[in-house]
Amino acid sequence: EIVLTQSPATLSLSPGEGATLSCRASQSVSTYLAWYQQKPGQAPRLLIYDASNRATGIPARFSGSGSGTNFTLTISSLEPEDFAVYYCQQRSNWPPWTFGQGTKLEIK
């Protein structure tokens, strides 16, 4: 089973700042990695798939990069609605499909 480790666990930033979230895989997942955003009381939403492709309707301030075992989600300039929990997920080696433990992006 591929283990995904996200860092940091919590990130405290202010609106307008840039955010960098990390996801590390226990073995290579090529570029078969996605990022999701989850707000309180809501279902997760797909942001990025195949490491760097934005899902439909996702603003351009969200970008993903990486391959192999190291991946990054970057939010260029934080909007108030971006403060949420973010999860990475791999589809390289399944089953199981696995998620990281999440990074909480909170307002400083």
Partner 1 sequence: EVRLLESGGGLVQPGGSLRLSCAASGFTFNRYAMSWVRQAPGKGLEWVSGINSNGTNTYYGDSVKGRFTMSRDNSKNTVYLEMNSLRAEDTAVYYCAKSGRYYFDPWGQGTLVTVSS
- Give the separation between CA 64 and CA 43, rounded to whole angstroms: 21
Fill in the per-residue mask, 39 to 58: x = in contact with partner 1 (CB under 8 A), - = not in contact: ----xxxx--x-----x---
Residues belonging to the chain:
108
64-93: contacts with partner 1 (CB under 8 A): 87, 89, 91
14-43: contacts with partner 1 (CB under 8 A): 34, 36, 38, 43
CB of 27 to partner 1, least distance (A): 17
Q: In the complex with partner 1, which residue's Cβ is closer, 25 or 98?
A: 98
Using alpha carbons, select from 88, 83, 85 the residue that is nearest to residue 73: 88
Residue found by looking up tokens 């960098």 in the block: 20
CB of 67 to partner 1, least distance (A): 16
Side-chain-facing half-sphere of 91: CA atoms under 13 Å: 9
Does an H or E element contain 74, and which?
Answer: strand 70-75
What does the binding site for partner 1 look like in residue numbers (CB under 8 A)? 34, 36, 38, 43-46, 49, 55, 87, 89, 91, 94-102
